Amino acid sequence: MSKFIVAIDQGTTSTRAIVFDHAGTIIAGGQMEHEQIFPQAGWVEHSPMEIWDNTREVVGVALAKANITRHDVAAIGITNQRETTVVWDRRTGEPVYNAIVWQDTRTAPIVDRFAADGGVDRFREKVGLPLNPYFSGTKVLWILDNVTGARELAEAGHLMFGTTDCWLTWNLTGGVNGGVHVTDVTNASRTLFMDLRTLDWDQEILDIFGVPRSMLPTIKSSSEVYGHAASESLLRETPIAGILGDQQAATFGQAAFGPGEAKNTYGTGCFLIFNTGENIVMSKNGLLTTMAYKLGDAAPVYALEGSIAVTGSLVQWLRDSIGIIATAPEIEDLAKTVDDNGGAYIVPAFSGLFAPYWRTDARGVIAGLTRFVNKGHLARAALEATAFQTREVLDAVNADSGVPLAELKVDGGMVANGLLMQFQADILGVPVVRPVVAETTALGAAYAAGLAVGFWSGLDDLRANWAEDKRWRPLMDSAEQGRQFRNWKKAVSKSLDWVDRDVL
């Protein structure tokens, strides 16, 4: 019997392959970063070919480090940056344009055009999402309208659209030689095109956008066999059996399977998902209604989500663009050189503000500067920005659900930062809990794939794997918590109404 699952985690800044055993333990992994392409302000792109090349390489590295072959692997799971959009020619396998990344804001004029008739919530009742450049639908339309010959090729049935899970699955299963064009419900729910009730593409919305249905992948569950790795792959003949968007995968990896359970993932951005079970809950407080997962033929499970655009990428900006740190982990040591933020607040609205504001006109600000503020204060303010944004999202979750969350499960790269986690507990006023396996995004994809092929027998198996590593309890008194959060809200107000539409 095969002893392992391989999870491919195609993220915003890197692609990883991780080998998991039955206990959910990491055996080995490989990771490669890919280029972040910024053609102009507000534009963010990736090379789909670089991502595909890196995927093949990291799979080889992971298998070599684990000292295993395809015969030891029961299934492959895929998790991915969700809204990042790839359009390619089904005849050649060549992308017609770079992948447009979820952070990209170039489609704001398209949003304004559609919102002129019915507002930003024009399609929310069907798709659970507001009109926003964040989602894939406007990105596909931009490519069709701006890449020479793209619309003609699409109308002729030659182009395929997908998020990066589609791109990898199609290539892994053979590409131009019989590649499977599928996505799962979680990724489909981030396009603006999928009806949350029917779990199918909505033809009326596609017609309004002018996107041919022939471009779109078939929507599948999050856990089933979609196809098998092609003969040229190191994992040839291995079933690809799980697909989950990265934040849903992290929720699954945290074993947050029941209504009322939640997690927050700290990565490039920050994403809090609150499980609402089989009920579709439309938010009144700036959250998204989305899919949590669907296992095979079982009923779909829904969620509320609070999406924050910039958290870990703020640390990257301080490292790469400002140069106050040389490596990302250094930010904690630098922040520890001061006792507080010195009155400085950073609102990292590099791509506008996501939940709960959904303001594309916002831009980043540093507020409260005096001569007293030094780089230690800025490092601390950067970390605190992540915690403050999470507080705003959690307040919205509590308001929508009516049941205040008693503790917050956390995961992702930033949870290694003890200073941040303590401040997060302080500003929330509830315990913050980190699991033993913090790489829950890849683990969730592994779980989905393993369930489909019988590697794990059911959700109870997965719950048994979850274990607490560390818990941070709130230490800040309520008066100080209130003062700091009040100042944060004041700083946010200064970031709004920044962009003039005529210069977008």
pLDDT for 504 equals 47
Phi, psi of 90 (to 5 degrees): -65, -20
- For residue 22, count other CB atoms closer than 10 A to its CB: 15
pLDDT for 41 equals 86
pLDDT tens digits for 327-357? Answer: 989 999 999 999 999 999 999 998 789 889 9
* Nearest in space to 19 (alpha carbons), one of 33, 2, 32: 2
Distance from C-alpha of 303 to C-alpha of 259, rounded to nearest angstrom: 9
Q: What angle do CA 379, 385, 389 make, to 5 degrees?
A: 165
Phi, psi of 246 (to 5 degrees): -55, -40
Whole-prediction pTM:
0.87
Strand pairing category for 14-20 and 4-10: antiparallel
DSSP string, 340-372: S-TT-EEE--BTBB-TTT-BTT---EEES--TT
β partners of residue 88: 95, 160
Distance from C-alpha of 9 to C-alpha of 411, rounded to nearest angstrom: 14
pLDDT tens digits for 36-72? Answer: 999 998 899 999 999 999 999 999 999 999 999 999 9
**What's the DSSP call for residue 299?**
P
Asked whether the beta carbons of 227 and 75 are under 8 A apart, the reply is no
SS3 label, residue 225: strand
User: What's the chain's average pLDDT?
Assistant: 93
> pLDDT by residue for the chain (504 residues), tens digit each?
579 999 999 999 899 999 999 999 999 999 999 999 999 988 999 999 999 999 999 999 999 999 999 999 999 999 999 999 999 999 999 999 999 999 899 999 999 999 999 898 999 999 999 999 999 999 999 999 999 999 999 999 999 999 999 999 999 999 999 999 999 999 999 999 999 999 999 999 999 999 999 999 999 999 999 999 998 888 999 999 999 999 999 999 988 898 888 889 898 888 899 899 999 999 889 899 999 999 999 999 999 999 888 888 899 999 999 999 999 899 999 999 999 999 999 999 987 898 899 888 899 999 999 999 999 999 999 999 999 999 999 999 889 888 788 889 998 888 999 999 999 999 999 999 999 887 889 999 999 999 999 999 999 999 999 889 999 999 999 999 999 999 999 999 999 988 775 544
| Start-to-end C-alpha separation, the chain | 57
Distance from C-alpha of 71 to C-alpha of 390, rounded to nearest angstrom: 43
